[in-house]
Structures are given as structure tokens and as C-alpha cells.
């Protein structure tokens, strides 16, 4: 992920460049040298705002394999029913 910083004047002159940069990471927009806005792709915005994911999306996260998870083995035994 790359971060791009552009001035509001540059944004007004070349919005296409900012949109292309937002595909690769956030674009910080400055006004008179101070951060004023951040441009994100729609996908990044949905991810940050907590868009619901389905189980397949959640389990396909790249860093998921780095998590150690060893649940205890469960033993299920049957028992007789008393009517």
C-alpha cells in the first residue's frame, strides 16, 4: 500500500491522477500545507467502516495463517434416555 500526498490545487488540476493513486492506497490532500482530506477507494472505505463480510471473505484474509489456534478436542458421548 502506498500513500500519496497532493495539494488541493493539484487535486483540482488532475483529479484522474488522484483517483488512480487511491487504488493503491490513501491519498492525503493538503490545503495550505495542512492535511485537510483523505481520498480512499470505495473498497478501502467499506473495509474501514466495517462492511459485513461473509465467512469466505473473513477466512481468506492473508494474515489468518499466522494466527496460532489449537482448540481442545471435544469428545461426545451418548447416554441413555430415561422416559
Residue carrying the nine cell digits 462492511: 51
At 6-21, the pLDDT tens digits run: 999 999 999 999 999 9
Domain that holds residue 18: 4-50
pLDDT of the residue at 36:
94
In a domain, 57, yes or no: no
pLDDT of the residue at 53:
65
Domains identified in the chain, total number: 1
In a domain, 70, yes or no: no
CA distances for 56 relative to 35, 49, 53, 61, 78, angstroms: 37, 19, 8, 9, 33
Please give the Cα distance from 82 to 79 (Å, whole number): 10
Count how many Cα atoms sit within 13 Å of the Cα of residue 31 in the half-sphere of its side chain.
Answer: 4
At 25-83, the pLDDT tens digits run: 999 999 999 999 999 998 888 888 876 667 776 677 676 667 777 888 888 888 888 88
Pull the grid cell for residue 7.
495539494
pLDDT of the residue at 71:
80
In a domain, 30, yes or no: yes
What is the value of pTM for the model shown? Answer: 0.58
In a domain, 71, yes or no: no
In a domain, 63, yes or no: no
pLDDT of the residue at 69:
73
Backbone angles phi, psi at 38, to 5 degrees: -130, 130
In a domain, 59, yes or no: no
DSSP 66: G
Amino acid at each position: 500500500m502506498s500513500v500519496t500526498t497532493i495539494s488541493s490545487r493539484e487535486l483540482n488540476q488532475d483529479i484522474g491522477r488522484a483517483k488512480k493513486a487511491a487504488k493503491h492506497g490513501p491519498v492525503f490532500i493538503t490545503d495550505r500545507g495542512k492535511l485537510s482530506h483523505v481520498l480512499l477507494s470505495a473498497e478501502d472505505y467499506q473495509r474501514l467502516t466495517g462492511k459485513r463480510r461473509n465467512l469466505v471473505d473473513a477466512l481468506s484474509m492473508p494474515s489468518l495463517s499466522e494466527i496460532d489456534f489449537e482448540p481442545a478436542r471435544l469428545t461426545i458421548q451418548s447416554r441413555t434416555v430415561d422416559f
